[in-house]
């Protein structure tokens, strides 16, 4: 079934910048997410990549209803969930869950693993009757590759990779349909990353989960995602299948990003199409007019400052790209593993 | 006692200064332990490596491998207690730094060997301007006047490609972006023209486009100054791009040493092989990630024999009994595995 | 009552990342796995406390004082309230180890019975302070915004009141020289005034603790699961914010023992026929030169009690400090 399980339309999240302590005056807005639209199909993984300040973490929070959007909508199976509250919001949470980045701070240090994984059942008592909860927690521990006998241990007695598994077990407890993964492997060692990535894949196959996988590591994202969205300064600049994005990138930023990723193959050292961006990322409080990337783009023309390029399919590109001069360029020489 | 690889450089200082010297910087059989109230952790267990002028040695390892502690010991900034050096030598131009007085070591720090860190925010003092901190090096160590020191500091900021160096001289660290701060830290460490630069995960906290810029900068500065660069990292992509030689560390020892091409093409240690197999590559489709099962060892209780044996897919009984020494297995290659030859000669 | 030493008590627990530490304490957990007993952070803290001799010494004294307060007859059979004038200011001897006071009462008996008033008042006052300050601190820290601004300004007003002066004003109003309050009424008044003047510090402590913890990832995770405000505060915030309060509260008991003594000495706190160390010290002030033992014994007990609580607080703080782990 490839229906859309999640539809995001023109999502906006601005944070006010205030001055003063007692009487606050708003002097500007941090435009963290500034008009983002995409779909998530059932059972697929949508990767969201971008560098710091692009808004992907804010996007995660808004999708999880941890923040109210300033504008726009998020539709889950046809229902607008962006403005829910109370009991309806609580019930929604059973369907969309979160795995966080830092395994060392995302688990309450004073709760046992059993309490941590069992908490979803306490908050949503209708999911599992009281007597069955402990059994379910042990099942979950086993599912993520941990020893169910360790149910009474505390987080600090586990390694980083194991703690991340606990976080995944907790997210899985209510059998959600969508899991938002906010940089789930960035804080882990290289050899542990692979373990957790394989676990996420296995769980997706077993439970038909849909993932929104947010990360800055382009290699990790390619490995796990069917489709990828590239974000820059609060907007999606390019979106497509992983083939399209990695083999036929059309937006200059995507191209620069891909060319900057070092590939673990020394023989490719001198052959790289290296695009070096100049300048710093502009402040999200006052992003450039028109196309936000124009201040660092080698293709920038006057039109770029005047007209905001929309994310749509263009003549130079077989997938949506937000550039007036979108043009295919091969950066990554893909081969079969 | 591990065999020391012979480098192409002659033993009498190739810098032409005529100084009688060994290699530029050499660590030999270094041993460090951490004494905590829960026990003693053997963090470094006989590490030997060297770096020569103009070359880049990458020290590759994950957390707990001891790569950062080795660097801290070289710089003399190891926290003592709980860290204690229990053996080995660290030779700079042939002289053992561990036996030098604190005064001598301090002189070498900055002028002979400098270090940059992962987090520029904690390396730079937040209450002084960046320019002031760089100029201070010139004032204190070279006795320059304030005006001269300021001039040189601005030159350094220019060299690390910070735009508007003159204006940014009086900015505070928090006013710089992450990449710019890293450049400022590089400027500060290179102010006194060190011969060796140790970079401890310099780009791990940076965005990938900024990472590329910083690595480029380091390569350029190294070329200009003929510096030896020790790059400490866990990022196999960065290493492939910039390293000349690589030392792979695990549980406080070097398990493999090779030039960069050999290491990636034909790893000679199961750990290296496991690492290479477990990283996703951006240019590959349909990859199956093979993982290294298990966890790194508890350094307070390292298993007998090869420390990697509980996780090694090729482990045999001998691996649990005998610690494999780091042995040469070809020109410029060494591996600490009983079955290194078999591994290299596979298909 | 502002207390600069509280600045060091609030410490945000850092993420213990083995990347930063040379000796990874949680790598290779199979080693630890052999110990089957779960060890929470409190369990770890207890393990540390057990090893400190200072903890045992202060705990020992506190235990003695508490037993003294609860069962004074275990320590003495003397009469703390009545005496024979014939014994007025007779020095320490075999019959009366601490001698007799001006009214001929057994000083030893009075000192033992005095523990009750001092300790009870101090303990109840601390509980009151922690309750008021803690609750207001949680509300201010969690809600933020104008609620926080309002409560913080409110606390500032109380901060501005000099402690002793404030206590004097409150107590002279309600407990003046001419009033005839019963023993329990007087105690309640003293407890109330100490709590009312002491809560701002606790509120500040709790508030900064909450502010630091509020944005922690695990709180976000709890919200993402659908946890309501009550659950978050009680199950997630409170257990992680209590440590500074525990430490400060322990030290505060010592502080309040001294405070009560001060107030009683000034004549506005507890009054005869209640026995407390403060009252005894007050009564001794005219006879310091001639019968120094009248001052010495209650003062020694007072100082020991105060010190014991302060030391206990110090050791607990060290044991709970995540940075030292």
pLDDT in tens, B206-248: 888 889 889 989 999 999 999 999 999 999 999 999 999 999 9
Q: Please name the helix (run of DSSP H) or strand (run of DSSP E) that holds residue A304, with its range, or none.
A: helix A302-306
List beta partners, residue A76: A6, A79
Q: Please name the helix (run of DSSP H) or strand (run of DSSP E) that holds residue B199, with its range, or none.
A: strand B196-200
- CB A32 within 8 Å of CB A55: yes
**Nearest residue on chain A to C38, judged by CA atoms?**
A153
Spatial distance between the Cα atoms of B2 and C287, rounded to a whole number of angstroms = 82
- In the prediction, which pLDDT does B19 show? 40
Among A residues 123-142, those touching chain C with beta carbons less than 8 Å apart: 123-124
Which residues of chain C lie closer than 8 angstroms to A110, CB-CB?
40-42, 239-240
Q: Which of A244, A264, A265, A295 to mutate to test the interface with B (most CBs of B within 10 A)?
A: A264
- In the prediction, which pLDDT does B10 show? 38
DSSP state of B43: E
pLDDT of B286 strictly over 80? no
Contact B282 A218 (CB under 8 A): yes
Biggest distance spanned by C-alpha atoms of chain C: 77
Spatial distance between the Cα atoms of A232 and A221, rounded to a whole number of angstroms = 16
Look at A286 and B20; give whichever has higher pLDDT: A286
- CB A209 within 8 Å of CB A43: yes
- In the prediction, which pLDDT does C167 show? 84
Angle between helices C277-284 and C238-266 (to 10 degrees): 30
What the block records as the tokens of A250 is 């059309």
Contact B295 C28 (CB under 8 A): yes
Instruction: Give yes or no for C323 touching B (CB within 8 A).
Output: no
Which residues of chain A lie closer than 8 angstroms to C20, CB-CB?
none
Question: Measuring CA to CA, which residue among B107, B73, B80 is closest to residue B198?
Answer: B73
Question: In degrees, to the nearest 5, what angle opens at C-alpha A242 toward C-alphas A241 and A248?
Answer: 90
- CB C205 within 8 Å of CB C6: yes
Q: Which of B34, B82, B298 sits opposite C27 (nearest CB)?
A: B298
C92-117 CB burial, b ≥16 within 10 A, e <16:
beeebbbbbbbbebbbbbbbbbbbbb
Look at C10 and C44; give whichever has higher pLDDT: C44
- CB B326 within 8 Å of CB A233: no
Spatial distance between the Cα atoms of C86 and B150, rounded to a whole number of angstroms = 87
Instruction: Give yes or no for C16 touching B (CB within 8 A).
Output: no
- In the prediction, which pLDDT does A163 show? 95
Spatial distance between the Cα atoms of A107 and A116, rounded to a whole number of angstroms = 7
- In the prediction, which pLDDT does C12 show? 35
- In the prediction, which pLDDT does C269 show? 80
A112-142 CB burial, b ≥16 within 10 A, e <16:
bbbbbbbbbbbbbeebbeeeebeebbbebbe
Among B residues 8-47, those touching chain C with beta carbons less than 8 Å apart: 32, 34, 36, 38, 41, 43
Spatial distance between the Cα atoms of C270 and C279, rounded to a whole number of angstroms = 7
Helix (H), strand (E), coil (C) string for A23-81: CCEEEEEEEEEEEEEEEEECCCEEEEECCCCCCHHHHHHHHCCCCCCCEEEEEECCEEC
pLDDT of C266 strictly over 70? yes
Instruction: Give yes or no for C23 touching B (CB within 8 A).
Output: yes
Question: Measuring CA to CA, which residue among B345, B346, B343 is closest to residue B268?
Answer: B343
pLDDT of A274 strictly over 50? yes
What the block records as the tokens of A165 is 């598994």
pLDDT of B37 strictly over 70? yes
Instruction: Using a cut of 0.90, tell me whether the model's pTM lies above it.
Output: no
Give pLDDT tens digits for A127-153. 889 889 999 999 999 999 999 999 999
Give pLDDT tens digits for A230-266. 999 999 999 999 999 999 999 999 999 999 898 899 9
Q: Which of B64, B79, B301 sits opposite C24 (nearest CB)?
A: B64
User: Residue A123 region, left (φ>0) first, then alpha (ψ -120 to 50), else beta?
Assistant: alpha
Question: Measuring CA to CA, which residue among B265, B279, B233, B277 is closest to residue B333?
Answer: B265
- CB B110 within 8 Å of CB B76: no
Spatial distance between the Cα atoms of C3 and C179, rounded to a whole number of angstroms = 33
pLDDT of B178 strictly over 90? no
Look at A326 and C182; give whichever has higher pLDDT: A326
Contact C23 B43 (CB under 8 A): yes
Q: Is the peptide bond before B81 cis (omega within 30 degrees of 0)?
A: yes
Contact C221 A106 (CB under 8 A): yes
Spatial distance between the Cα atoms of A177 and A192, rounded to a whole number of angstroms = 25
Spatial distance between the Cα atoms of A321 and A311, rounded to a whole number of angstroms = 5
Instruction: Give yes or no for A67 touching C (CB within 8 A).
Output: no
Instruction: Give yes or no for B347 touching C (CB within 8 A).
Output: no
SS3 at position C221: helix
Percent above pLDDT 70 for chain C: 83
pLDDT band for B22, please (50, 70, 90 cuts).
low
- CB A218 within 8 Å of CB A257: yes
pLDDT of C213 strictly over 60? yes
C132 class by beta-carbon count within 10 Å (0-12 exposed, 13-18 middle, 19+ buried): middle
Cβ–Cβ contacts within 10 Å for residue B315, how many? Answer: 17
The interface predicted TM-score of the complex, written ipTM, equals: 0.88
pLDDT band for C119, please (50, 70, 90 cuts).
confident
Beta strands, E only, chain A: 4-19, 25-41, 45-49, 71-76, 79-80, 96-99, 178-182, 210-215, 227-232, 235-241, 335-336
**Nearest residue on chain A to B286, judged by CA atoms?**
A337
Give pLDDT tens digits for B119-173. 888 788 999 999 999 999 899 988 999 999 999 999 999 999 898 888 999 999 9
Contact A264 B264 (CB under 8 A): yes
Biggest distance spanned by C-alpha atoms of chain A: 67
Q: Which of C19, C43, C144, C225 to mutate to test the interface with A (most CBs of A within 10 A)?
A: C225
Contact A112 C227 (CB under 8 A): no
- In the prediction, which pLDDT does C16 show? 36
- In the prediction, which pLDDT does A87 show? 87
What the block records as the tokens of B292 is 């290294």
Contact A105 C223 (CB under 8 A): no
What the block records as the tokens of A162 is 């194991």
Which residues of chain B lie closer than 8 angstroms to A337, CB-CB?
281, 284-288
As a dihedral over the C-alpha atoms of residue A152, residue A157, residue A161, residue A163, rounded to 10 degrees, the angle is 50
Spatial distance between the Cα atoms of B162 and C99, rounded to a whole number of angstroms = 82
Spatial distance between the Cα atoms of B40 and B83, rounded to a whole number of angstroms = 10
Cβ–Cβ contacts within 10 Å for residue C74, how many? Answer: 10
Spatial distance between the Cα atoms of C77 and C74, rounded to a whole number of angstroms = 8
Which residues of chain C lie closer than 8 angstroms to B36, CB-CB?
23, 25
- In the prediction, which pLDDT does B289 show? 87
Spatial distance between the Cα atoms of B235 and A193, rounded to a whole number of angstroms = 12
Question: Measuring CA to CA, which residue among A59, A73, A58 is closest to residue A8?
Answer: A73
Contact A52 B284 (CB under 8 A): no
């Amino acid at each position: 079934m490839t229906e859309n399980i999640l539809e995001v339309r023109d999502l906006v999240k601005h944070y006010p910048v205030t001055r003063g302590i007692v009487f606050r005056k708003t002097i500007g807005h941090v435009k963290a997410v500034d008009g983002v639209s995409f779909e998530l199909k059932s059972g697929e993984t949508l990767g969201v990549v971008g560098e710091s300040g692009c808004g992907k973490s804010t996007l995660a929070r808004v999708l999880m209803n941890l923040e109210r959007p300033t504008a726009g909508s998020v539709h889950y199976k046809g229902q607008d969930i962006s403005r829910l509250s109370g009991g309806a919001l609580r019930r929604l949470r059973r369907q969309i869950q979160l795995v966080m980045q830092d395994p060392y701070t995302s688990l309450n240090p004073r709760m046992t693993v059993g309490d941590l994984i069992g908490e979803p059942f306490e908050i949503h008592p209708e999911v599992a009757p009281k007597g069955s909860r402990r059994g379910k927690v042990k099942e979950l521990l086993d599912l993520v590759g941990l020893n169910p006998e360790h149910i009474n241990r505390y987080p600090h007695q586990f390694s980083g990779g194991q703690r991340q598994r606990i976080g995944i077990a907790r997210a899985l407890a209510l059998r959600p349909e969508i899991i938002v993964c906010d940089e789930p492997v960035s804080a882990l060692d290289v050899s542990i990353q692979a373990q957790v990535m394989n676990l996420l894949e296995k769980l997706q196959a077993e439970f038909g989960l849909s993932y929104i996988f947010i990360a800055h590591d382009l290699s990790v994202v390619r490995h796990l995602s069917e489709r990828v969205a590239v974000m820059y300064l609060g907007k999606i600049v390019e979106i497509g299948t992983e083939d399209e994005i990695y083999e036929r990138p059309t937006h200059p930023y995507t191209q620069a990003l891909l060319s900057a990723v070092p590939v673990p193959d020394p023989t490719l050292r001198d052959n790289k199409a290296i695009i070096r961006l100049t300048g710093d990322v502009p402040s999200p409080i006052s992003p450039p007019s028109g196309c936000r990337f124009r201040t660092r783009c080698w293709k920038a023309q006057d039109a770029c400052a005047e007209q905001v390029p929309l994310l749509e399919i263009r003549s130079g590109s077989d997938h949506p790209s937000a550039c007036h001069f979108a043009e295919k360029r091969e950066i990554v020489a893909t081969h079969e593993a | 006692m591990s065999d020391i690889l012979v480098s192409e450089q002659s033993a009498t200082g190739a810098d032409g200064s005529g100084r009688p010297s060994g290699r530029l910087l050499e660590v030999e059989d270094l041993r460090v332990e951490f004494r905590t109230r829960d026990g003693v952790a053997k963090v470094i267990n006989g590490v030997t490596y060297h770096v020569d002028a103009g070359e880049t040695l990458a020290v590759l390892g994950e957390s707990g491998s001891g790569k950062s502690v080795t660097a801290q010991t070289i710089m003399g900034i190891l926290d003592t207690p709980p860290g204690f050096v229990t053996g080995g030598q660290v030779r700079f131009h042939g002289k053992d730094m561990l036996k030098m007085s604190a005064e001598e070591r301090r002189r070498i720090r900055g002028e002979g060997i400098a270090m940059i860190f992962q987090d520029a925010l904690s390396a730079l003092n937040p209450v002084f301007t960046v320019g002031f901190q760089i100029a201070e090096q010139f004032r204190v160590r070279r006795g320059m006047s304030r005006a001269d020191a300021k001039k040189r500091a601005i030159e350094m900021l220019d060299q690390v490609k910070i735009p508007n160096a003159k204006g940014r001289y009086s900015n505070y660290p928090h006013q710089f972006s992450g990449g710019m701060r890293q450049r400022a830290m590089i400027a500060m460490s290179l102010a006194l023209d060190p011969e060796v630069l140790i970079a401890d995960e310099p780009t791990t906290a940076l965005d990938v486009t900024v990472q590329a810029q910083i690595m480029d900068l380091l390569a350029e500065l190294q070329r200009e100054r003929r510096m030896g660069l020790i790059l400490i990292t866990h990022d196999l992509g960065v290493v492939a791009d910039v390293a000349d030689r690589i030392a792979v560390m695990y549980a406080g020892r070097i398990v493999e040493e090779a030039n960069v091409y050999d290491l990636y093409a034909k790893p000679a240690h199961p750990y290296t092989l496991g690492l290479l197999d477990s990283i996703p590559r951006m240019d590959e489709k349909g990859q199956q990630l093979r993982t290294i099962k298990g966890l790194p060892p508890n350094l307070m209780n390292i298993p007998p024999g090869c420390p990697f044996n509980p996780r090694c897919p090729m482990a045999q009984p001998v691996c649990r009994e005998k610690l494999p020494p780091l042995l040469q297995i070809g020109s410029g290659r060494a591996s600490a595995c009983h079955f290194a030859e078999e591994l290299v000669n596979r298909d | 009552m502002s207390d600069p030493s509280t600045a060091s008590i609030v410490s945000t627990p850092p993420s213990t990342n083995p990347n930063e530490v040379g000796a990874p304490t949680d790598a290779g957990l199979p080693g630890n796995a052999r110990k089957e007993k779960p060890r929470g952070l409190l369990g770890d803290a207890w393990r540390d406390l057990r090893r400190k001799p200072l903890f045992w010494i202060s705990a020992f004294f506190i235990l003695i004082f508490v037993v003294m307060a609860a069962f004074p007859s275990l320590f003495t059979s003397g009469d703390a309230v009545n005496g024979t004038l014939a014994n007025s200011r007779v020095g320490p001897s075999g019959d009366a180890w601490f001698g007799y006071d001006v009214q001929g009462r057994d000083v030893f008996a009075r000192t033992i019975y005095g523990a009750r008033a001092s300790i009870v008042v101090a303990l109840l006052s601390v509980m009151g302070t922690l309750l008021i300050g803690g609750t207001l601190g949680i509300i201010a820290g969690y809600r933020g915004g104008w609620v926080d601004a309002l409560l913080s300004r409110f606390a500032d007003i109380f901060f501005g009141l000099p402690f002793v002066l404030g206590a004097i004003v409150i107590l002279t109003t309600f407990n003046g020289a001419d009033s005839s309050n019963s023993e329990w009424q007087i105690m309640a008044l003293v407890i109330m005034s100490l709590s009312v003047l002491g809560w701002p510090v606790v509120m500040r402590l709790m508030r900064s603790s909450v502010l630091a913890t509020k944005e922690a990832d695990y709180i976000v995770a709890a919200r993402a699961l659908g946890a309501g405000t009550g659950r978050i505060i009680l199950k997630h915030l409170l257990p992680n914010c209590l440590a500074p309060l525990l430490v400060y509260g322990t030290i505060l008991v010592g502080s309040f023992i001294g405070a009560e003594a001060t107030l009683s000495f000034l004549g506005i706190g507890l009054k005869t026929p209640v026995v407390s160390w403060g009252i005894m010290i007050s009564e001794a002030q005219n006879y310091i030169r001639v019968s120094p033992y009248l001052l010495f014994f209650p003062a020694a007990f007072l100082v020991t009690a105060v010190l014991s609580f302060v030391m206990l607080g110090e050791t607990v703080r060290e044991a709970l400090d995540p940075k030292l782990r």
